[in-house]
Amino acid sequence: MKRSTDRILTTHVGSLIRPPALREFLAAKEAGKPFEEAAYAKCLKECVAEVVRKQADIGLDVVSDGEFGKAISWAQYALFRLGGFERRPFAGGNPFTRGVDRTRFADFYAELDARDKVETVMDSVAVAPITYAGAAELKQDIDNFKDALRAVGVAEGFLPVAAPPSVIPDRKNEYYKSDDDLQQAIAEAMRVEYKTIVDAGLLVQLDDARAAVSYDRMVPPKTLEEYRAWLARQVEMINHAIKGLPREKIRYHVCWGSWPGPHSSDVPFKDIADLVLQVRAGGYSIELANPRHEHEWRLWEHFKLPADTVLIPGVISHATNIVEHPELVAERIVRLARLVGRENVIASTDCGFAQVTYFARVHPQIVWAKLEALVEGARLASKELWGRDRTPRSAA
Question: Which domains does the chain carry?
Answer: 9-395 (3.20.20.210)
What local confidence, expressed as pLDDT, does residue 72 receive?
A: 86
Q: Which of 92-96, 295-299, 392-396 has the highest mean pLDDT?
A: 295-299
Report d(CA 249, CA 202) in Å as an integer: 7
Report d(CA 26, CA 71) in Å as an integer: 6
Write out pLDDT tens, residues 317-353: 999 999 999 999 999 999 999 999 999 999 999 999 9
For the CA atoms of 117, 94, 238, 268, the dihedral, rounded to the nearest 10 degrees, stands at 90
Reading phi first (left if > 0) and then psi (alpha if -120 to 50, else beta), residue 58 is in: alpha
- CB 361, CB 260: distance < 8 Å: yes
Query: Band of the pLDDT at 94, cuts 50, 70, 90?
Result: very low
Query: Residue 119: exposed, middle, or buried by beta-carbon count in 10 A (0-12, 13-18, 19+)?
Result: exposed
Query: Band of the pLDDT at 201, cuts 50, 70, 90?
Result: very high
Residues of the chain with pLDDT > 90: what percent?
82
Residue 147 burial (CB count, 10 A)? 13
Write out pLDDT tens, residues 52-71: 999 999 999 999 999 999 98
Query: Band of the pLDDT at 119, cuts 50, 70, 90?
Result: low
What local confidence, expressed as pLDDT, does residue 89 receive?
A: 80
Query: Band of the pLDDT at 396, cuts 50, 70, 90?
Result: very low
- CB 238, CB 269: distance < 8 Å: no
Residues facing 311 on adjacent strands: 284, 345
Res 93 pLDDT > 60: no
pTM equals: 0.94
Average pLDDT over all residues of the chain: 93
Write out pLDDT tens, residues 213-250: 999 999 999 999 999 999 999 999 999 999 999 999 99
What local confidence, expressed as pLDDT, does residue 212 receive?
A: 94
What local confidence, expressed as pLDDT, does residue 97 receive?
A: 58
